[in-house]
């Protein structure tokens, strides 16, 4: 099924071809492009070998179109993008920006949360729907 990934700031399309494209910076402030697989729970990624990061390192994610930081406002370890399905239904997608940490969450309008990844239990925030509601759509 065709899905689109959209920058929450400029609404630009981040998915081109088979991958979602991000501008990224490691902790040494070295820049690179990071291509992530659009299927939730699939952690395949593509980068140029000159862009290096260590396991456990926090990667800064930016929109390649408007340069906005995509780090979530409510948890600095998570990246926030919008996913739109073919029926134009929008979902908030959050995933860990810690290299090697496999955690992804898909949040619907009605606060339904789908989590994926073997480390998704680390962000217990997503198990508390009432607390989550006030943060919905605020990034
Ligand atoms: Zn943008």
Spacing, Cα 38 to ligand 1 middle (Å): 17
For residue 1, pLDDT over 50 is answered with yes
CA dist 133 and 122 (Å) reads 19
Strand bridging mode 31-36 / 45-47: antiparallel
State residue 2's pLDDT score. 81
Spacing, Cα 9 to ligand 1 middle (Å): 5
For residue 56, pLDDT over 60 is answered with yes
State residue 110's pLDDT score. 83
Q: What is the mean pLDDT of residues 27-35?
A: 97
CB atoms within 10 A of CB 72: 21
Query: pTM, whole model, 2 decimals?
Result: 0.88
CA atoms within 13 A on the CB side of 42: 11
Spacing, Cα 6 to ligand 1 middle (Å): 8
DSSP alpha helices (H): ranges in the chain? 129-133
Tokens of 52: 């290096």
Spacing, Cα 113 to ligand 1 middle (Å): 24
Spacing, Cα 68 to ligand 1 middle (Å): 6
Spacing, Cα 125 to ligand 1 middle (Å): 26
What sign has the CA pseudo-torsion 73, 53, 101, 1? Answer: positive
Residue spans of beta strands (DSSP E) within 1-139: 3-6, 15-16, 19-25, 31-36, 45-47, 60-62, 78-85, 90-96, 104-107, 113-116
State residue 122's pLDDT score. 86
Spacing, Cα 7 to ligand 1 middle (Å): 5
Spacing, Cα 80 to ligand 1 middle (Å): 11
Question: Residues 35-54: pLDDT tens digits?
Answer: 999 999 999 999 999 999 99
Spacing, Cα 12 to ligand 1 middle (Å): 6
Q: What is the DSSP letter of 122?
A: G
What is the separation, in whole angstroms, between the first and last Cα of the chain? 25
Question: Residues 85-136: pLDDT tens digits?
Answer: 988 899 999 999 999 999 999 999 888 888 999 999 888 766 655 555 555 5
CB atoms within 10 A of CB 54: 9
Q: What is the mean pLDDT of residues 66-91?
A: 93
């Amino acid at each position: 099924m065709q899905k689109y990934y959209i920058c929450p700031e400029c609404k630009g399309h981040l998915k081109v071809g088979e991958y979602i494209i991000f501008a990224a910076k490691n902790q040494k402030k070295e820049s690179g492009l990071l291509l992530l697989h659009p299927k939730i729970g699939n952690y395949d990624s593509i980068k140029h070998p000159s862009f290096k990061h260590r396991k456990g390192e926090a990667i800064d994610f930016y929109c390649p179109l408007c340069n906005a930081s995509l780090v979530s406002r409510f948890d600095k370890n998570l990246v926030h993008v919008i996913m739109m399905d073919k029926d134009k239904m929008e979902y908030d997608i959050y995933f860990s920006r810690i290299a090697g940490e496999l955690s992804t969450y898909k949040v619907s309008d009605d606060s339904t949360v789908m989590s994926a990844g073997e480390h998704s239990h680390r962000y217990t925030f997503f198990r508390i729907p009432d607390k989550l509601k006030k943060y919905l759509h605020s990034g």
